[in-house]
Amino acid sequence: MTTSKKIMPDTIDLFGMKIHAVDMPAAVSTVLEWCQEPRQGACRYVVTPNVDHTVMYQSNVALQQAYDKASLVLADGAPVVMASRLLRKSLPERVAGSDLVPAIFEASAEQPLRAFLLGAAPGVADRAAAVIEQRWPGVEIVGTLSPPLGFEHDERENERILQSVADCQPDLVLVGLGAPKQELWISRHAEKLEAKAALCIGATIDFLAGEKNRSPRWMQRLGLEWVHRMASEPSRLAKRYLRDAWVFPQLVWREWRGC
Ligand code: UDP
């Protein structure tokens, strides 16, 4: 696991994952610190487990390997943080990718940032870029790319993405390809990705573009963001969340029993 020499946050073991016990300000300063340092060997990257990722992680070996190589593992899901407290392995707070990105951009007033948006449907990343540059003038979106369906299996397409990023020399790549595609892609290409840091951020590009709406704050606080997402995309997400609602409590129970 690649970690910053200056900041080495503690991890807790939860559901087989090693999750960094950091709050939002510490996560922001860690990523900003990477963005100021010269790139060392591979692009450092951040993964953000929520309930669905946690369930996938149990049986997906490639995802487990991608997590092992991540420099920062942040608890995105409120139920993951609640479970950590129940299991007396208390994580300080939820650090969702969709909150981390604006918090990092907020700091660009003092530390200008060059960012590249990878993912979302055609046109969406460009709309997000316009919103970002207007809201946070310290952020320059140096490139956007919406790879075609199935790109991850096409070596020429992967090379094209890596070349586009190399041409733009961003500090930060926001990878919004959905899980586990984004984690597997970044883990496979981190050595060649010419950026200082990358964040796996799911639908954050859609949220920034106004393409999808996040749940109201009160739902986020109560750990109900998934209910809002399921209601807004029932045909895609209902089966997934029903499976998660069945499996996740069993994982908590197993961890509680220590087996
Ligand atoms: N996405 C993409 N390319 C793909 C698959 C997904 O750009 O091959 C984008 C999709 O357009 C959306 C995001 O990935 O912007 C999916 O985010 P979400 O958090 O909904 O993913 P999940 O992990 O929940 O499926």
Question: What is the tens place of the pLDDT at every residue in 118-143?
Answer: 999 999 999 999 999 999 999 999 99
Q: pTM of the prediction?
A: 0.94
Q: What is the pLDDT of residue 86?
A: 95
Q: Which amino acid is at 255?
A: E
Q: Is the CB of 206 under 6 A from ligand 1?
A: yes
Q: What is the pLDDT of residue 130?
A: 98
Mean pLDDT for the chain overall:
94
Q: Is the CB of 76 under 6 A from ligand 1?
A: no
pLDDT per residue as tens digits for the range 152-161: 999 999 999 9
Q: Which amino acid is at 219?
A: M
Q: What is the pLDDT of residue 193?
A: 98
pLDDT per residue as tens digits for the range 216-251: 999 988 888 888 988 999 999 999 999 999 999 999
pLDDT at 1 over 70: no
Give the Cβ contact number of residue 42 at 10 Å.
17
Mutational test site, ligand 1, from 56, 206, 212, max ligand atoms within 8 Å of CB = 206
Class of residue 157 by CB neighbours under 10 A (exposed 0-12, middle 13-18, buried 19+):
middle
Atom of ligand 1 nearest to the CA of 203: 17
Q: Which contacts (CB < 8 Å, 24+ apart) does range 252-257 have?
A: 252/83, 252/86, 252/87, 255/14, 255/15, 255/83, 255/87, 256/86, 256/87
Q: What is the pLDDT of residue 46?
A: 98
The rounded distance, in Å, linking the Cα atoms of 76 and 208 is: 17
List the alpha helices (DSSP H) in the chain. Answer: 24-36, 51-57, 61-69, 78-86, 97-106, 124-135, 155-168, 181-189, 204-209, 217-221, 225-232, 234-257
Task: Tell me the CA–centroid distance for residue 52 and ligand 1, in Å.
Answer: 13
